[in-house]
Amino acid sequence: MADRAIAPTERVLVPSGRNYRMFVKSTPVLVGALGSMVVVRNGPASIIAAAVVALTLAGVAQFLRRERVVVTGTHVHSIRPVGLPKKRARADIATVLSVRLAASSGATPYRNLFVLDRRGRLVVRMRSPHWTPEDMRRLVAYLGLPAQELDRPVTARKLGSRFPRAISLSERYPFPSGVLVVLAMGAAILAVSALVD
């Protein structure tokens, strides 16, 4: 096993992507403008809709503000916007994978950095443009492990077949997942409208 560059102190990485910073800073403005517009256009009955929109945007901003990767001398700790935090011992980190992930729609592939443990479980995932290439290089340097880089862009499905615990099923199969989300939202709207009537 190669020697690892153990950081003497705790290192904290937060996303420095321009889009991320703009979203977090502009969310209060969006909440105020959208809420006011909905109430003015549709009257007091739309206060509930405005409140839901405001709470959703505020929640998203708060989650994004929480996102960080912490590297200590003994552990790697990933705090994500959605989902439970993940913490693994540095000795358990086995793979650092840098890959351009191609969207099924044919859009420009975007850079991802995956940090996996010895069982292939995802510990950290950084995606551009949310995380910059410099953020990713800093994490690789803090971990002291070489990053494997795939030569060509790959789809989530192909990457998932090689690293099944790194990519979620919803990302591998976006169309069926999207259909399920739409059906769930439709059922929720019907249930709410039945309660209101």
For residue range 71-101, list pLDDT tens digits in order: 998 999 998 877 788 999 999 999 999 999 9
**Backbone angles phi and psi of 71, in degrees to 5:** -115, 120
Residue 38 reports pLDDT greater than 70 = no
Percent of the chain with pLDDT over 90: 29
* SS percent in the chain: helix, strand, coil, step 5: 50, 20, 30
**Backbone angles phi and psi of 105, in degrees to 5:** -75, -10
pLDDT at 5: 46
**Backbone angles phi and psi of 185, in degrees to 5:** -65, -40
C-alpha span between 193 and 197 (Å, rounded)? 6
pLDDT tens-place string over residues 87-139: 999 999 999 999 999 876 666 888 999 999 999 999 999 988 889 999 999 99
C-alpha span between 174 and 156 (Å, rounded)? 10
Pair 92, 127: CB distance under 8 Å = no
C-alpha span between 46 and 40 (Å, rounded)? 9
C-alpha span between 151 and 100 (Å, rounded)? 9
Q: How many CB atoms lie within 10 A of CB 175?
A: 8
pLDDT at 6: 46
Q: Name the token pair of 160.
A: 């998932």
Q: Name the token pair of 31.
A: 């909440």
**Backbone angles phi and psi of 53, in degrees to 5:** -60, -45
Given pLDDT bands bounded at 50, 70 and 90, which one contains residue 183? confident
C-alpha span between 120 and 39 (Å, rounded)? 49
Q: What is the pTM of this model?
A: 0.68
Q: At what angle do helices 18-42 and 47-66 cross, to 10 degrees?
A: 170
